[in-house]
Amino acid sequence: MPLPLEPRWFCPDYWREQDAVTGEAPGRGASLFLKAPDRANEQWVLRPYRRGGLIAQLNDASYLWTGRERTRAFRELRLTAALYTQGLPVPRPVAAGVWQRGLVYRAALITVRLAGARALADCLADADEALLERVGATIRRFHHAGLDHVDLNARNLLVAPDGAVFLIDLDRCRLRHTGRWQADNLSRLERSLEKFDAKASLPAILDGYHAKTDD
């Protein structure tokens, strides 16, 4: 049975007061890992929405209000839920929170943490060909579903302890018809691999991506 939603879940201080913070993810959003209430062995990820780039020096967390359904949190929640329902490897969504103040809003998203998963970026040094091919095959599955992941990088691909590959952080992503965006996604991933000095991993990823399957 779903838990009744509580607004305080979106407040990091609440979880700290409950001694329920188990860790923190890297990145500008300072996502927190949490002990889920009344859920044995389940953890959540609380991710506030944060801006990047030069604009963050003036405004790091506020966005223009154009209606609740158009907020980044609600759009990402709906998209994640749709992909999860299709059986695609994304974290299970829990809730989205939005706080409007005048013409702007702030937001946060809660998803279930993938227990024991590591970012692909942290696995590249000892990643074998089979893992890299699974990464490519996973990306292909999302592309076949029409997902344009605008920030496809080695930190937004997670590897579970059993070797399964997941895709996270669907902020600003959308479903589209086949087009140039698929190649653009792969080019973005290539640039990410270069930053981690792992461009040599790309051929195996592309082999997995282009492999003939029934999906």
Fill in the DSSP letter of residue 201: G
Residues 6+ apart with CB under 8 A from 85: none
Residue 56, both tokens: 């963050």
Indicate the Cα dihedral angle 75, 77, 78, 81, nearest 10°. Answer: 150
* Residue 106: C-alpha distances to residues 7, 48, 205 (Å): 13, 8, 37
Helix (H) or strand (E) holding 21: strand 21-24
DSSP assignment of 100-139, as one string? EETTEEEEEEEEE--TT-EEHHHHGGG--HHHHHHHHHHH
Question: 183 is written with which tokens?
Answer: 């190649």
| Whole-number Å distance between alpha carbons of 81 and 111 | 10
The helix (run of H) or strand (run of E) holding residue 99 is strand 93-101
Which of the residues 38, 128, 148, 151 is marked catalytic?
151
Specify whether 151 is catalytic: yes
Report, as residue numbers or ranges, the catalytic residues: 151
